[in-house]
Amino acid sequence: MPATTFDVFRYQPDSSDTPYRQEFALDHSDKVTLLDALLQIQDEQDGSIAMRYSCRSAICGSCSCKANGRTVLACMAQVEEIKEADGSDTIQVDPIGNFAPVKDLIVDLDPFWEKFRSVKPYLIPDGKAPEKERIVSKEAMNKVYNESKCILCAACYSECNSLAADPDFVGPAALAWGYRFAGDERDGQRKQRAKLYSGEHGLWDCTRCMYCNERCPKGVEPRDAIEKLGGVAFREGVSWGDAGARHARAFLVSVRTGGKLNETLLVPFTNPVTAPLDAPFALQMIRKGKAPSPLPHRIKKLNEVKHLMKNVKEEV
């Protein structure tokens, strides 16, 4: 029978304001999930351990926590697999990141729900409601299928670098829900949504670290949804107000016209007002060969790049 030590984050504000860690040694079956192991500890060793869970089937999204620093759904994560991945018989268990702890593994999810509500996560169709129903094709629904799989477990928020830097960032799950409806052909608010999601703390604040894609237990790929929302913002003509949007557009123009990225041109396109202040520094970098020349340059096989970009555009 395998044995594991669980090094659990404890925070019991009723008795002390100071969090601490507590180790529990457990003999368990070789197919136990992290959630079942924690419940066994709660049952046999310490009934005061607080955690959220409900369905035990990766559907309710309640039991997300960190195992050895990586956010998982406790009901999906196999104890033996975690140990094997990290080469250790001890598993550190922590509450999810980027949220204030309330008690042990329970965190305050209010900011998460506020952000979720802020993106208007429901269909807002134009015109009069049909007598029976709005028919939509399978192909059209496939475009938002990934985003529809979200179970609101907040694992992506736990890993999000932008949220760590800016707690007001609307975040990956809410934006994935935004695309769920902005990408739905029955919705009549595409432009309004593009404006709503492109504002301060919105989609352009994502650092593209990809951790949300990596840790999402349901394959929602929220970073991809944010990418698609950026496309909606461009198509709806609401992408000039934000430096992130201008940066993305400058990137695109640079590759389309020259066949490669010209980093030197990104600065004036992204921040036209403050860019002159960076001119002496930029000139110094160019002189030392640390930055490409801002003069137009085209690669020989520019047509191949354009062809590639056209294919990608058609696929999206």
Applying CB under 6 A, the site for ligand SF4 has a residue count of 28
Q: Which of 41, 150, 182, 233 binds ligand SF4 (CB under 6 A)?
A: 150
**C-alpha to C-alpha distance for 130 and 36, rounded to whole angstroms:** 48
Least distance (Å) from ligand SF4 to the CB of residue 313? 22
Near ligand SF4 by CB under 6 A, which window of 5-13, 208-216, 248-256, 308-316? 208-216
Task: Report how far apart, in Å, the C-alpha atoms of 302 and of each of 253, 255, 295 are.
Answer: 13, 9, 16
24 strand-pairing partners:
6
Q: Which of 65, 156, 194, 267 binds ligand SF4 (CB under 6 A)?
A: 156
Amino acid, res. 25: A
Query: Which one, 33 or 158, has the nearer CB to ligand SF4?
Result: 158
DSSP assigned state of 7: E
Q: Which of 176, 194, 238, 265 binds ligand SF4 (CB under 6 A)?
A: 176
Are the C-beta atoms of residues 198 and 245 closer than 8 Å to each other? yes
Are the C-beta atoms of residues 261 and 249 closer than 8 Å to each other? no
Here's the x/- map for ligand SF4, 28-47, by CB under 6 A: it reads as: --------------------
Is residue 96 near ligand SF4 by the rule CB under 6 A? no
Query: Which one, 61 or 268, has the nearer CB to ligand SF4?
Result: 61
Burial of 275 (0-12, 13-18, 19+ CB in 10 A): middle
**C-alpha to C-alpha distance for 202 and 314, rounded to whole angstroms:** 26
Here's the x/- map for ligand SF4, 46-75, by CB under 6 A: it reads as: ---------------x--------------
Q: Which of 151, 194, 196, 255 binds ligand SF4 (CB under 6 A)?
A: 151
Q: Taking the CA of residue 168 as centre, how many other CA atoms within 13 Å lie in the half-sphere pointing to its CB?
A: 5
Near ligand SF4 by CB under 6 A, which window of 43-51, 81-89, 205-213, 295-303? 205-213
